[in-house]
Structure 1
Amino acid sequence: MRTTTRSGPHWTSDRGSAPIEAVFVLPVLLALALLFIAGARLSSAAGTTDAAAQAAARAASLARTPDAGQAAAVRAAERVLADQEQGCAGTAVEADTSGLAVPVGQASEVTVTVRCTVPLGDLFFLKGGPGTKTVESTFTSVVDAYRTRG
């Protein structure tokens, strides 16, 4: 059924207005959905990176030498990121294990920073294209003052 109204000397029709509205509304809804997905991906990556930094610092603080602490930190961070199936385009683990070199009886600490580069380009149909965000987390763990060191 065709609806027409008389407004002045011209006749108008409502036919065809729904497709025109869809042309304007659908891209906005799609952009909002992709923005929500990107935010969820970054939030998940931040939580996983926090857990990886914490596990890495704890593992490094249990080591007996600075070199062993470095290796333990990297292994622990990679294990947490893999277990959580965190899709990082790149990861970096930096461990300050100088606290493992202090003499027994002195308080010290180990600090680990984990970085995860989260890909976002695939959300905008640019597989492997631009659009990454690096999430970083740092955690410090106390080294037992009376634990023997190598």
Structure 2
Amino acid sequence: MNQSNSLDSHSGEHGGSPSVEAALLVGMFGLLILLAIAGSRFVLAEAGADHAARAAARAASLHRTAADAERAARTAADDSLADQGLTCTELSITVGTAEFGAPLGTPASVRATVRCVVAWSDLGLPGARSGPVVEASAISPIDRWRERS
């Protein structure tokens, strides 16, 4: 008889409380959603930086002077990022205009590089003020017969 009493006292226990289990599952599910959003933001940032670099290189290649090309490239990259809604905590746009000094008839190109530290502060991830760094470069040819400075 003594043995059956000990079995009866333990047979009613099933583990943790259902409300505790539900709270843990909701927390884990919320974290998974935040990580999915962060991942998609990273992929969109990579594509956005690539698009901005191509737009900047193309805009720069249409100008005759290195100074005008650099201004046009920066404007094109900024506009591209704004159109895509990409927020960077740090943004660097580098335009290589050294080949604008090449003589007429010589093949030349301009390179634009966009470097963006993706903003993750609004995601609510613990310790995530800024996300990963995305960087993209693009090269666009300069018309070899267009007058340059």
Q: TM-score, normalised by structure 2?
A: 0.86
Q: Distance in 1 between matches of 2:6 and 2:51?
A: 66
Q: Distance in 1 between matches of 2:136 and 2:88?
A: 14
Q: Distance in 2 between matches of 1:108 and 1:44?
A: 31
Residue matched to 1:146: 145
Secondary structure in structure 1 of the residue aligned to 2:106: coil
Q: Would the aligned equivalents of 2:89 and 2:130 in 1 still touch at CA under 8 Å? A: no
Q: Distance in 1 between matches of 2:24 and 2:71?
A: 54
Q: Distance in 2 between matches of 1:119 and 1:14?
A: 45
Secondary structure in structure 2 of the residue aligned to 1:27: helix
Q: Distance in 1 between matches of 2:134 and 2:6?
A: 59
Alignment of structure 1 residues 55-74 onto 2, 5 Å? 55-74=55-74
Gaps of 5+ in 2: none
Alignment of structure 1 residues 1-150 onto 2, 5 Å? 8-10=7-9, 11-13=11-13, 17-124=17-124, 130-150=129-149
Give 1:51 shift.
Answer: 0.9
Give 1:97 shift.
Answer: 0.7
Richer in helix (by share): 2
Residue matched to 1:3: none
Cα distance, 1:84–1:130 mapped onto 2, change above 3 Å: closer
Gaps of 5+ in 1: 1-5
Secondary structure in structure 1 of the residue aligned to 2:146: coil
Secondary structure in structure 1 of the residue aligned to 2:63: coil
Give 1:47 shift.
Answer: 1.2
Q: Would the aligned equivalents of 2:116 and 2:134 in 1 still touch at CA under 8 Å? A: yes
Secondary structure in structure 1 of the residue aligned to 2:91: strand
Secondary structure in structure 1 of the residue aligned to 2:55: helix
Give 1:22 shift.
Answer: 1.2
Q: Would the aligned equivalents of 1:118 and 1:133 in 2 still touch at CA under 8 Å? A: yes
Q: Distance in 1 between matches of 2:51 and 2:130?
A: 24
Count residues in correspondence.
Answer: 144
Q: Would the aligned equivalents of 1:61 and 1:100 in 2 still touch at CA under 8 Å? A: no
Once superposed, what is the RMSD of the aligned Cα atoms? Answer: 2.3
Q: Distance in 2 between matches of 1:131 and 1:112?
A: 23
Percent identical residues: 36
